[in-house]
Chains A and B, each alone.
Chain A
Amino acid sequence: MPKLSRSDWYDLSRDTNWTFRYVSEDDVFPEDLSGSHRVATDGWLKWDEPYKVSYREYVHNQVTKDTTTYSLKNAISRSKVFDQLDPGWKSVILAHYGAITMPEYLASIGEARMGRFGRSAAWRNTATFGALDEVRHGQIQAFFPYGLLEKEPRGDWALKAFHTNNWIAIAVRSLFDDMFVANDAVSIALQLTFTLETGFTNLQFLGMAADAIDVGDLEFGALISSIQTDEARHAQQGEPTIKVLIENGHQEYGQFLIDHMFWRSWRAFALLTGLSMDYYTPLESRKMSFKEFIQDWVIKQFTEQFRDYGLDFPWYWDEFVKELDWYHHAIHTIIWNYRPTVWWNPDAGVSPAEREWLEEKYPGWNRTFGRHWDVITENVRNGDLIATYPATLPVACNICQLPIVRAAGVLTGAHTDPAPLTFVYEGRTYHFCSAPCKWIFTQRPDRFKGHKSITDRLLTGDINPPDVGGILAYMGLSEPEQGVDADNYAWAEET
């Protein structure tokens, strides 16, 4: 029997479109779930994924990846590799597992929504593979930290975090609910695959895998590489989707969705990757600063994406670029202060050598953020650790759910007004960290109203008693689970 080449059968095999006779197109693809009605049915038929794979090939590839990765894990789990890792790097992977494992699993819901409500059969086919990818990512990132439990019990936050009211979990949950759990197929394609995956995480996973290998964490490196290759494939759903929108005169809507999610992705990225790259990764393993990474990879990637599709840079682009100099430094300082409220051990990352590196990468760091660490270091040296802990909550932004921080002395991007931005909607005052977060809320207030930030919960009596003990209990953190300084303050004694 002659073997057909893929191009001879591929289009036919994935074409599951048919003409509906008993129901309307609108009934099959409700707008709330599909988000595709701006473009007529014929317009969606042009949707074509750049990377094609058959089910048989897909299964073969995935089995190979799983076999390799799980085998490596089995071999390494019998070694002392984890014990010998740098404490800061252990924090990188603990933070990652708690913040990312469940979202990977939830992303399968987003992919499945595109797999059911995407208007093109080709798209539904590609998204079905994406749903299988994300189930795998959820499972593998739950199983790997499970293997760490004997050495690091907080590996169970891979599953636990999303079932708590921990403030980081609230922030990440809010982001991913917005991005894919409570989103329509078109928006998911543009916000999850085009913006987050193509623009941020696909690149981040490449760098993170390399860093993991460099610090000796072969297990995590193999895991991340295995995931990245799936992401590189299913992330491509965004491109044909924006192309269809643009060809049918809806560039402005596509731009809105991308602008919305680029900012939210940036916020989460600064929190997780910014701290990891500039403070938690051992100095000798840092290949570039977070700012350099964003400039060289993320900005370059988006510049090409925007150019290729005739899109504009988001209206807040200047503010985003300025924030590269200060935002994640402020967040890091606060996370370290509030270390009992997170499930990993924040690495201060401010030994003399590290401060020198920070000053080189971020000229002026010692003058701006360093002065806060001077006070903290002095308290540690004097044995006054109580002074390094918080006694109240920061005010969290009602969009990104992260503390409202300021540049404090950094001239570029410094906020001139000390008061947070606010917006009154249906009698309630919402607080925002930045103009883009306020813009996201005000564009669609009904989408975001009603949600309570961690600060709202404190002030409206959800957290009882409204003190540090009550806050930690509300966040699901028993004493052994609470973060401590990753290096047991050794950095403060170095001169």
Chain B
Amino acid sequence: MAPLPITATFAGDIVTLAVLADDQDTAAQVADKIAFHVVGKRVAARNAPVKLRLGEQVLDPDQVFGTYAADSLPHVEAFFDE
């Protein structure tokens, strides 16, 4: 368990956020942490799961996020998977 700060955007939002994840979080947990700051606050909620994109790769929600994020302060984009 180690803090893993990331920069994050949510598709459709207007600002890049600093979000504190944990390297043992799953991708789904990280997606929730990003969505917490955006969905229902600046972006309307939708009935769809939120997924993560790291570069070109859409992450497996169950995979541990730390296994993907080798860079310090990686950037991820969360989005509604519709």
Contacts and interface: CB of A to CB of B under 8 A. Distances in A.
A252 to B, nearest CB: 34
B42 A405 contact: no
B14 A406 contact: yes
A375 B9 contact: no
B15 A403 contact: yes
B22 interface: no
A405 B13 CA distance: 9
A371 interface: yes
B7 A392 contact: no
B16 to A, nearest CB: 4
A473 interface: no
Interface string B25-54: 000000000001100111110000000010
Interface in A411-458: 418-420, 429, 431, 455, 458
Contact of B44 (A374, A394, A407, A418): A374
Given A372-B42, A375-B40, A375-B44, A409 B20 contact: no
Interface in A375-412: 375-376, 379, 387-388, 390-395, 403-409
Of A369, A408, A458, most B-chain CB atoms within 10 Å: A408
Interface in A211-262: none
B19 A392 contact: yes
Contacts of A337: 41-42
Given A372-B14, A459-B73, A466 B40 contact: no
6 nearest CB pairs, A to B: A404-B16, A419-B75, A418-B77, A408-B14, A395-B16, A372-B42
A333 interface: yes
Contacts of A418: 9, 11, 53, 75, 77
Nearest to B53: A418
Of B12, B20, B37, B41, most A-chain CB atoms within 10 Å: B41
Given A394-B16, A429-B73, A406 B9 contact: yes
B14 A330 contact: yes
A428 to B, nearest CB: 10
Interface residues of A, number: 35
A406 B15 contact: yes
B58 interface: no
B16 A420 contact: yes
B20 to A, nearest CB: 7
Nearest to A374: B44
Contacts of A371: 44
B44 A404 contact: no
Contacts of A429: 72-73
A334 interface: yes
A408 B11 CA distance: 8
Contact of A459 (B5, B11, B40): B5
Of A330, A429, A459, most B-chain CB atoms within 10 Å: A459
Interface in A51-99: none
A466 B75 contact: no
Contacts of A388: 41
A459 B9 CA distance: 17
A340 B42 CA distance: 17
A252 B29 CA distance: 51
Given A393-B18, A394-B18, 20 more contacts: A372-B13, A372-B14, A374-B44, A376-B41, A376-B42, A379-B40, A379-B41, A388-B41, A391-B36, A392-B18, A392-B19, A394-B15, A394-B16, A394-B17, A395-B7, A419-B9, A431-B7, A431-B16, A458-B18, A459-B18
A87 to B, nearest CB: 23
A5 to B, nearest CB: 60
Nearest to B77: A418
Contact of A408 (B13, B53, B73): B13
A393 B19 CA distance: 8
A422 to B, nearest CB: 8
A334 B42 CA distance: 10
B16 A375 contact: no
A193 B19 CA distance: 40
A337 B18 CA distance: 15
Contacts of B72: 429
B41 A330 contact: no
B12 A408 contact: yes
Contacts of A372: 13-14, 42-43
A360 B7 CA distance: 35
Given A420-B7, A459-B73, A387 B41 contact: yes
B29 to A, nearest CB: 16
Interface in B41-82: 41-44, 53, 72-73, 75, 77
9 contacts: A375-B41, A375-B43, A379-B40, A379-B41, A388-B41, A391-B36, A392-B19, A395-B7, A406-B14
A481 B52 CA distance: 38
B62 to A, nearest CB: 23
Contacts of B16: 394-395, 403-406, 420, 431
A390 B41 CA distance: 9
A325 B13 CA distance: 17
Contacts of B44: 371, 374-375
Contacts of B14: 330, 333-334, 369, 372, 405-408
Given A420-B7, A429-B72, A387 B40 contact: yes
Contacts of A395: 7, 16-18
